[in-house]
Amino acid sequence: MRVLKAKYLLFVFLSACAFNADIAGVYFSPQGGCEQAIIQQIEQAKTEIKIQAYSFTSEPIAESLLAAHKRGVDVQVILDKSQKTQSYSSYTFFKNQGIPVFIDSAHAIAHNKIIIIDKQIVITGSFNFTKAAEEKNAENLLILKSKELARQYLINWFKHKNHSDSYSGRK
């Protein structure tokens, strides 16, 4: 297990070097601080937060995004179409709070787990923004600081936003 973890960390380091990225954090769950690390980054956001998520049920992360939105940070969310069938989802929460939400229905599953902050921080990994990911699942989370890497993720984010529909609530 230690060999696998060492190989994984070496892969992360080499990938970060390719984009001249600083590794701002590496986290593992369950209960490895992933959720709190995300919240800390959101609390430091100054201008914008772009999110792509398959599943989003973490109340603490949603509340920190709402606080960022209320302090003037441009928060926008792209979520998977599976959320449409839930009676009250994070989609509904964000929309009710005035945060733009988009549904990516162009793919079998929009399985991204990405947060891009201020065009320079990329948060990604297997970690879904859910209570189960923090408390029960074996997940990983990377926080990388790189304008070039963030630029690549933003290009992809806008590509997905362009084929997504604005969420207008459960039908």
Tokens of 91: 């989609």
**Active-site residue list:** 111, 113, 118
User: What does the pLDDT read at residue 88?
Assistant: 58
Alpha-carbon span 54 to 81, nearest angstrom = 8
Beta strands in the chain (DSSP E): 22-29, 48-53, 74-80, 101-104, 113-117, 121-124, 139-145, 165-166
What is the H or E stretch that residue 132 is in?
helix 131-135
Task: Say what percent of the chain tops pLDDT 90.
Answer: 56
Tokens of 58: 């973490």
Report pLDDT digits (tens) over 83-127: 776 655 677 788 889 999 999 988 888 889 999 999 999 999 999
User: What does the pLDDT read at residue 157?
Assistant: 96
User: What does the pLDDT read at residue 167?
Assistant: 64
Decide which of 50 and 31 is more confident.
50
Residue spans per domain, the chain = 24-166
Supply the CATH classification number for the domain 24-166: 3.30.870.10
Alpha-carbon span 142 to 114, nearest angstrom = 10
User: What does the pLDDT read at residue 23?
Assistant: 81
Tokens of 87: 């009676």
The verdict on whether omega for the bond into residue 30 sits within 30 degrees of 0, i.e. cis, is yes
Tokens of 164: 């997504």
Report pLDDT digits (tens) over 155-165: 999 999 999 88
